[in-house]
Each structure stands twice: as C-alpha cells, then as structure tokens.
Structure 1
Amino acid sequence: MSVASRVVGNWGSAVLLAFSAFLLAGCSVESVDAPAAKTGGETTGAVEASAGEKRIQVDGSSTVAKVAAAVQEEFTKKFADTKVALKVTGTGTGFKEMIAGRIDIANASRPVKDSEKADCQQAGIELVELKIALDGLTVCVNRENDWLDTITVAQLKKIWAPGSTVKTWKDVDPAWPDVPLSLFGPGEESGTFDYFTEVINGKEDQITENYSASADDNVTITGIAGEKGGMGFFGCAYYFSNRDKVKVLKISPTDSVADGVEPTVESVRSGAYKPLSRPLFIYVKKSSLAKPEVLDFAKYFLNEGQAQVGTVGYVPLEEAELATVNAALESAVSGAGK
C-alpha cells in the first residue's frame, strides 16, 4: 500500500470522531475507511434488509456523501419504510462494490473509468450515470497563513507532484516564510484524489508521498487547522461549512496571481474557477431501478433533492441540464431489470 493510501500517524482514530457529523445528519453510515471489496458473491449478513424492510445500498465518494446524507434524511421522511444504507469508502471502492454486486448506487466525484465500466459489463452490470451537482475542488491552508491568498497551478504542482523536494513554503516561493509544509488530502481510492492529480500533476494517481491521507474530508480539515503550514484539498461544500477553521485560496491557471479565482457558486457554475470545477455523479445499477425504492430515491435526488445540493454547499444543476438528466433516468427505467 502506498503512503498516499493510508492515514499517517494518529489520524485514523480521528476519523471516527470527525465522521460523527454524518450521523447527526440522520444518515446510516456503516463504515469509514473500509477495505476494498472482495470480488464475487452477493451481499449477506448485516447489510441484508430485515423482513419487510426496503433497503437501498449506497457506497463511494466522501464528497458526494455530504449531499447524499442530506438527501437521504429528507427522502426517508417521505418514504419512512425505506432505509438508505450509506457507506463512505471513496469513489474507487464504491465502483468495486458495484462490480461485486453489493450495492445499488455508487457515489462518484469523477466519471467512471473505462476499466471500471468494462469490469461492470463483465459482471453483467449496466450503469446509469446521473449527474447530480457541480463542485469546485477547493485548496485550503491554515488560517494563520498570511503570506498568500492566491496560488498558481504551477506552484501547486511543485508542492504535490511525485518526487517533490519541497519541504517548506520558502521552497515554493523565496518570498514566503521558512515554515514547514504539512500536506493533507484524500487517499488513492478517492475520486477527488484522481481528479486533483490529473489536472494539477498531469497524470492520475501521481502525487508526492509526503502527505497524510484519509478517506474522511473532515480529518483533512482538522489536519490543516492544526498546522500553521498546513494545506489540503477537498470538495467546496466542506470548505463552506468550515470557513471558521481553514482559509481558502484563489486558484490561478496562469503564472499570474492576478488571474486567481475563488470557488463560489457563480465561478463554479460558469467554469471560471479553472481547472478545479467538476461534476458530481451517482451511478445506479440499471437492474436496481426495477426496485421501486431505488427508482424513487434516484428521482428524489434529481428533483426535491436538488434543494439539499445547495444547502450543503455544492452547486445545483440548472433546469435545462436537470431535465436532460431526468430524461436519461426515464429512458433507463424502460430497460431496468433486463
């Protein structure tokens, strides 16, 4: 296992404490930092629904889980006989669980990879891709950081690239202080990790080994807040709900800090926040749409649930795009269960 795929030091114990926020949201969270799914076999034991209970199995992205938990809470008020069992293990592990036949919905902060799609097809699983929101992947530093408000993509690459020799902020820019850099972020099963490494470092999965990784974005925020030289990245909703703990940086796609743009609803929706604006998805197993509770949940997410997208801090889809996604769901329903 690479350094980037494990939690360093004592962060592992902090995961369980920080993730209690999901429980307060009324969501059934079954595990955090769970190991990769084993292949083969159907869901058994504790994850099986009790007699007469309708149950939807969901796993995947921690970024999407923030809105999925909020949508689940409202959904179960309307559909009290249905339980939405939400696990948070990262986008990559969510797709592994889908391939293994253990879940109905995979939350994803990146599009499905061709290799994952091929594995699903080999397992006889057809995916229905539903875009549910927009996100601005956000880079934050400690609130005591008073030497920068904007960082360029080139400077981010200097810090986060594999083999980086940067140890202090001064190593990045001689005008910055000789304060040690402490880096925090998601692990290699995360879609956020995949997206960041591709757009910043130029190649997916390539990153410095000198950082503390966790599947829980709340742990990343705690790490940044605890180190004067701290820096990390996560979905914008986690920043919007933790403004008092960390400081957001403007991102410049050029070498000029004058071109820096802060992640806001407007900059993410317009695409001005470059290159870290991205879509968020849920992937529904097509055969699961034959179950009324799964179809109801997917429809709710794309309609009433859009109010929760904005409430937790992501960017809701505009009406025209939402209509297109709903049409894709309706089209898939006609072939569900086949």
Structure 2
Amino acid sequence: MSTDSDATVSRRRLLAAVGAAGAAGVAGCTQNTGGSGEASLSGQINMSGSSTVYPLATAVGELFTDEYPEVNFNPQSTGSGGGFQNFFCTGETDFNNASRPIQPEEEQLCADNGVEPIELQVATDALTVIVNPDNDWASELTVEELDQLWSAETQPQQWSDVNSDWPDEDIELFGPSDASGTYDYFIEEVIGEEGSHRQDYSSTEQDRQIISGVEDSEYAIGYLGFAYYTQNSERVQAVAIDNGDGAVEPSIDTARSGEYQPLSRPLFTYPARGSLSEDQIAEFARFFLEQTTDEQLVAEDVGYVPLTEDQQSAQQETLEAAIEDATN
C-alpha cells in the first residue's frame, strides 16, 4: 500500500472545500443509523488501481471516514493494470481506479472470477510531460517528437538525435511502469497502438520518483498525471504539447476546453457489482460521485477537471442501477 502522505489532501482544507457536498453525502448515508440517530455505517472498503486517481480517491476517502470513522478505508496505489490483474479481478478489492478504460482481457479475467466491474468516470486528467527547470530547448514538443523520444523503434540516446539543435547529451527517461494506465494511454495516443514503448527507462509506480528523477537531471524527461505535476510545479517544468495547431500547456482550463490534445483523458473508478450489496461500499460509491463536480476539491485541491453536472448525473444513474441490481 502506498503511504505517500503528500497524496492525501489535508483534512482541514478538504472539509472546508466540500461543505454542502459533504453534507449531501451524509444525508445519503443516514439510512444506516442506530436507534439513537447516530451513524452506524461500518465495515471494510478495499481499493486498488491507478496512481493517477489515487490522490482524488484518498482525498474523498478521508472525507468519508471523517463522517464514518468505523469504516476502514484501505486504498492501494498499484497501477491500473496491476490493480485489475492482481487485486480487483481476483476478488480481493471492492474498487479499482483506472486512468484508462478496462481492457477486454481484464474484463475476461474478472468474468472468470465472477467479478463484474461497473465503470464510473470521476474526473478528467491532463497527462503531463515534464522536464528539468534548466531545460531550455524542450519546453515545447510536438507529438511526433514525443513519439520519437519514447518509441522503441527510434530509441534515440541523445537529445541531438531528435533535433540537431538540441544538446549532445544523453536523454534520461522516467515514467510509469507497464502496469500503469498512464503507460497504456501514452502508447495509444502518442506512440500508436501498433508501436511499442521503449524499455530503457526508469519505470516506477511511484509518481514521486518520476518527479525526483527529472528534478535531479538537466537532461531528463518524464510523464505522469497532472495532479502530481501541480503539487511539484516548483521542482519540474511542464512541457507544452503541439498536436498540429500550436503548443498548448497542460492545465485545468485547457483540459476542460479540449485544447490540450491528445493527452486529456477520463479517469475512472470501477466498483464490483457484487460488493455494492454491502452498505459501506454502496454509500462510498455514492459519496465519491457526489464530490466529482466540486471545483475546490477536484480542481484546486487535487488537480483534475471536475465532471459537469450532466456527466455526474449519468454516472449516478449507472451506479444506482448497479446498486439496485446488487441488492435485489
């Protein structure tokens, strides 16, 4: 389990941030009350999956357990694919977070084990390419240059191999492991599904290690979820991406508007339909979705684009249908 305390937003800030939304979550859970009227919701919630979704999930989880201290919320940052493969689809966790949609082979693994995932979008991310603050030659990159830097087919060793005006210095690469949804998404949108990601790089499921690696070397480059960049924007530099219409910097606004392409992506949590028959699982799923439109919590405190009210309503309808099916 990840114990990175920086991934969890402070309790005081979050309580101030969600205000009415948190109150709505409490109202949604008051059906589980004892005779005295005090909340009696209890039990275990086990969550695996995406390191990108992890900061948002743990922030929401902290709010939830403030209201329901007898609930034991146990989140793990395992990577999207690592979570599906090793925890969720084998029935060990109730939720799996993901920074890309579940893949057919993962759906089959879940089905083989009697687990039915319910897809719920919880935010939008601006996947961010980072370089060292002293890097003055690659503050803007085209998608083609990104492809060349990270593709196994080209695999340049020095910056000058990509552009002759760039330094004759070895490229140091840091990024997520192949268990990560961020890795999968980067291949799909930058390298192309028919291509492959180079493997001579420092891979990790700990995004802080990507930040540290890029911070420590002038000639390093990496990529990770936007929330981790915003928490460390004084340590590394975000790269503006040119998808053919000029370079666009990653931000909440450019991801929300659709300008930041092709690296804007939906973020998900997947509850298991069977787990939704348990009160604490169903109420946490409801509570999570209630927070997804909160600008302060999702955007300012964590660093992702909140859902619109229409998006939220659609996700809530999906969830309520799954809960009804699970409990009948």
TM-score normalized with structure 2 length:
0.85
1:67 matched to 2:56? yes
Give the equivalent residue in structure 1 for 2:142: 152
CA distance in structure 2 between the partners assigned to 1:242 and 1:23 by the alignment: 14
Contact 1:194 1:204 in 2 (8 A): no
- Specify whether residues 115 and 205 from structure 1 end up closer, same or farther in structure 2 by C-alpha distance, changes over 3 A only: farther
1:122 CA drift (Å): 2.1
Match of 1:335, SS state, is helix
* Aligned pairs for 1:170-185 within 5 A: 170-185=160-175
Give the equivalent residue in structure 1 for 2:205: 215
Contact 2:293 2:312 in 1 (8 A): no
Contact 1:194 1:205 in 2 (8 A): no
1:19 CA drift (Å): 2.9
Deviations 1:62-115 (A, max 9, x none): 001011111111111111110110111111111121111101000101100011
CA distance in structure 1 between the partners assigned to 2:309 and 2:180 by the alignment: 29
1:118 matched to 2:108? yes
Measured on the aligned residues, the alpha-carbon RMSD in Å equals 2.0
CA distance in structure 2 between the partners assigned to 1:243 and 1:124 by the alignment: 43
Give the equivalent residue in structure 2 for 1:6: none
Give the equivalent residue in structure 2 for 1:330: 320
Where do 5+ consecutive residues of structure 1 fail to align? 1-14, 27-51
Contact 2:292 2:307 in 1 (8 A): no
Match of 2:83, SS state, is helix
CA distance in structure 2 between the partners assigned to 1:136 and 1:150 by the alignment: 15
Where do 5+ consecutive residues of structure 2 fail to align? 12-40
1:20 CA drift (Å): 4.2
1:23 CA drift (Å): 6.8
CA distance in structure 2 between the partners assigned to 1:24 and 1:328 by the alignment: 28
CA distance in structure 1 between the partners assigned to 2:187 and 2:82 by the alignment: 18
1:188 partner letter: D
Match of 2:6 among 21, 25, 35: 21
Give the equivalent residue in structure 1 for 2:158: 168
Match of 1:298 among 285, 300, 303: 285
Aligned residues: 295
2:69 partner letter: A
1:284 matched to 2:271? yes
CA distance in structure 2 between the partners assigned to 1:59 and 1:194 by the alignment: 17
Contact 1:193 1:205 in 2 (8 A): no
1:102 matched to 2:92? yes
Contact 2:277 2:327 in 1 (8 A): yes
Match of 1:326, SS state, is helix
1:337 CA drift (Å): 4.8
TM-score normalized with structure 1 length:
0.83
Contact 1:195 1:204 in 2 (8 A): no
